[in-house]
Chains A and B, each alone.
Chain A
Amino acid sequence: MRVYFSLLLLVASSTAYGQDLLNLLDAELEKDKKPDYATATFKATRLSNGHSIETLAAGVLDVRISHRFGYINTGIDEFFGLDQATTRLALEHGISNRLMVGVGRSSYQKEVDGFAKFKLVRQATNGAPVTITAFSSAMVKTGPYDDPTRVNYFSSRMSFAFQGLIARKFTESFSLQLMPSVVHYNLAPAPNMNNNVYAMGVGGRLKLSKRISMNAEYYYQIPDTQYAGTTNSLALGFDIETGGHVFQLYFTNSTGINERAFITQTTGDFFKGDIHFGFHISRVFTLSDPRKKG
């Protein structure tokens, strides 16, 4: 190799100063190329309601406040929904650059949730075409039992969600994500109801500028498994990035904020004006300098 490059140097006549040397460095760069992973497929760990393939970087703590007002079509008496609110407060943490965990509490049905999310496959130039992230969450209702007359177990309060998040960053501004999902209820809402609800989510983002993107997200529940009286969750929104904050503003027909609630218990009809205005505020804190690890 050394011989080859020396020869190359010898043969090539210099045009600009150091141009030959630059060519030599280019060849070196090509020689052991590391995979060039797609970064920032989405701006945040959430698309709108649900998760995106993104995970927090190692050592990053994310303090999240999710807030959702009432339905816009409640009219002036409810100040177009602004009188009501459901919230989720959460602490989320990046354990490695591919694994993150979080805990949250939602006011809707007084639920506590915990989740873990792991990036299995990363999209790369000349590598995998998509990023795949596995997501799993557990939710516990902390309010009174729905039916206090029957024998109730703690496990009856619990439900779980499992998702495969598959996304591709097609261009710098356009990314698309698919989210096959299943929500499991330990105790089905009624005796004759199924415990599992299957859904397929689809979502994407389009950057309007370097710091603002438009997002859309839809979860289609498989009709055979869908609970009666529920609708599919739809969200349209914007991500606005300002330094350490990402504001996510959106309009959705879902009232609940965790996966069980918005995938399987949405009841609003978006096109009849059952629309909540909501936002996530995310503030990240760096607990450890990533350069000091290894």
Chain B
Amino acid sequence: MKTLSGLLFLLLAAFPSFSQDVFMTRNGKISFFSRTPMENIDGVNNEVLSVIDLKKGEIAFAVLVKGFHFEKALMEEHFNENYMESTKFPKATFNGKFVNAGTIDLKKDGTYPVQVEGDLTIHGITKKTSATGELIVQQGKLSSKSAFKLTIKDFNIAVPSVVSEKIAEVIDVTVECSYQPK
């Protein structure tokens, strides 16, 4: 066992830059907003998992749909039962890459505008998606921010006509994550 861990250590030590390139969080935040003249609905999830590999220029998110919380308990119930069917599709995920991957210097504070392209999976439907955002380096710490729009029809989420005036067709999504080196 000791030899094994020693070996592993050596292996790791041989790629010293590697672990510095991978950053992760377990408590990122994703919120969405549906705005209609009848009702505004917002859901917040503070347990977003996300990982960035700077070397490869890749990023991924995973979130449990039941982790979104709402202003009203009934909204949350309907969100899970009627729209997202979260027992059948418990997770939403994104995996993609930075399109304009420039070098990000972790030693220098700064904000790097990025564009991300990849596969977004919600409600069991995977869709090619792109969004703009920024990576922020502050005192060696990495965080990400993005805001984009989603059309709920794209993900095969049915809204019955009775409530269609209360639920926007296009939803505003914001993402905020602060990463730790992995």
Contact = CB atoms under 8 A, between A and B. Distances in A.
Given A3-B8, A18-B59, A290 B69 contact: yes
A58 B73 CA distance: 8
Interface centre among B15, B72, B78 (most CB of A within 10 A): B72
Contacts of B12: 3, 6
A36 B93 contact: no
Contacts of A161: none
Contacts of A29: 49, 62, 64, 91
A3 B8 CA distance: 7
A292 to B, nearest CB: 9
Contacts of B77: 39-40
Interface stretch (B106-114, B146-154, B158-166): B158-166
Contacts of A14: 56, 58
A172 B90 CA distance: 14
Interface in A52-70: 56-60
Question: Interface SS of chain A: helix, strand, loop or mixed?
Answer: mixed
Given A210-B81, A210-B82, A22 B53 contact: no
A231 B73 CA distance: 38
B74 interface: yes
Contact of A291 (B51, B66, B70, B119): B70
Interface in A1-58: 2-3, 5-7, 9-10, 14, 16-22, 24-26, 28-29, 36, 39-40, 56-58
A24 B66 CA distance: 20
A243 B166 contact: yes
A172 B88 contact: yes
Size bracket, chain A contacts: 35 or more
B71 A22 contact: no
B155 interface: no
Given A3-B8, A211-B82, A21 B15 contact: no
A21 B74 contact: no
B76 to A, nearest CB: 8
Contacts of A211: 82, 160
Interface centre among B49, B85, B91 (most CB of A within 10 A): B49
A122 to B, nearest CB: 13
B95 A22 contact: yes
A36 B49 contact: no
Interface of B: 5, 8-9, 11-12, 15, 18-19, 22, 24, 26, 44, 49-53, 56, 58-62, 64, 66, 69-74, 77-78, 80-82, 85, 87-88, 90-91, 93-97, 117-119, 160, 162-163, 166, 182
7 contacts: A7-B8, A18-B118, A25-B60, A28-B24, A28-B62, A244-B74, A290-B70
Interface of A: 2-3, 5-7, 9-10, 14, 16-22, 24-26, 28-29, 36, 39-40, 56-60, 94, 172, 210-211, 242-244, 284, 286, 289-291
